Structure 1
């Protein structure tokens, strides 16, 4: 983990949100993607939701699924968001969670 300023943090999260939004918009998924401030909500065909949000004071990215919540910190050496509890990488956990919760298989 690296100490970063607020500007760097916001850029990293904004990049992640944009990547998620582009994936949902560009493919044939029945997943609604809504970004409102620092919160990105995914709503699936089965009406369940997943929320990804900024935790600015901690410089973290949080993921809430119907199976649990995860807190990610940026690791500069790996250039990845890593869960501070499980050690899982954000993108692989997000794909796994979306598949598990919605039945949609996708990749970022």
Structure 2
């Protein structure tokens, strides 16, 4: 994938995650605040004060996630973002991480 294709895909992915978190907040599922600065999305869980930080890494063509549970790298396989270590999918992993840090069962998906 070209750098432009990666940057477009990364931007779409960050927007999708931010919109999903905003929707979960609006629906009173979890209390979160999202802050975006360029290619970095910071999700703060208000009740616990913990954060998940997601950013794109253009040189590596990866999405990086930093959460209380650890750091993870995801590479796009042509259809989904997959963890470079265990093959787990980005949105499924974010659902688990956000559920653990947000204190409520949440689902984050790229389907909207």
Q: TM-score scaled by structure 1?
A: 0.89
Residue range with higher mean Cα deviation, 24-33 or 41-50? 24-33
Residue matched to 1:47: 49
CA distance in 1, matches of 2:21, 2:97: 15
Q: Which has the higher contact order (CA 8 A, sep 6+)?
A: 2
* Paired residue total: 103
Question: What is the SS of the residue equivalent to 2:18?
Answer: helix
Structure 2 regions of 5+ residues with no counterpart?
none
Could you list the runs of 4 or more consecutive aligned residues of structure 1 that deviate by over 4 angstroms after TM superposition? Answer: none
- Alignment root-mean-square deviation, CA: 1.1
Structural mapping, 1:1-108, within 5 Å:
4-27=1-24, 28=27, 29-45=30-46, 46-76=48-78, 79-107=79-107, 108=109
Q: TM-score scaled by structure 2?
A: 0.86
Structure 1 regions of 5+ residues with no counterpart?
none
